[in-house]
Amino acid sequence: MKTITVLFIGLQLFFNHAFSELETTDIQALEVIENRTEMNGIYYHYKIKNTGTTVIPAGSYEVFLKVNGETVSLDTATSALKPGQTLNYESQKTFYKEDHEFLNYTLEIKMEDSNPANNTLKGRSIL
């Protein structure tokens, strides 16, 4: 009886460990939201999210919003992100039609993580 109990406990521990979720470090450029002013200018809200299973330490990543190739907003003194946590940002610059016809934006997170393909989000706004 002792042998069967020990064998059962050993198998249970093995399978629990073998099929437990692997830890991943992943941060995602989640979305960019276009906002309009009363004078038809455009500014942006944007979000990033920790889609991994580990805490992302403060200062281990950087966030950039570029519009037409120019960095208009950045965060290089980033805070820690718990798994599932989202951070919201807002660009400080507003763009108007007299300056541009199209706005090509890129939200970029600089970090080496398990899925670098989701660290960049691109889009276009029409003024």
- Tell me whether residue 28 is in a domain: yes
- Tell me whether residue 55 is in a domain: yes
- The mean predicted confidence, pLDDT, of the chain is 88
Count of the separate structural domains present in the chain: 1
- Tell me whether residue 38 is in a domain: yes
- Tell me whether residue 7 is in a domain: no
- What is the Cα–Cα distance from 84 to 39, expressed in whole angstroms? 36
- Tell me whether residue 14 is in a domain: no
What pTM was computed for the model? 0.80
Pick the closest to residue 74 from 41, 106, 26, 27 (CA basis): 106
pLDDT tens column, 7-47:
556 556 555 554 445 889 999 999 999 999 999 899 999 99
For residue 48, what is the domain's CATH number? 2.60.40.10
Instruction: Pull the structure tokens for residue 33.
Output: 């939201």
Q: Which domain holds residue 95?
A: 22-126
Contacts of 55 (CB under 8 A, 6+ apart): 80, 81, 82, 83
Strand segments, DSSP code E, in 37-119 are: 42-50, 62-67, 70-75, 86-90, 102-110
- Tell me whether residue 94 is in a domain: yes
Report the alpha-carbon angle 46-48-119, nearest 5: 110
CB 1 within 8 A of CB 93: no
pLDDT tens column, 36-57:
999 989 999 999 999 999 999 9
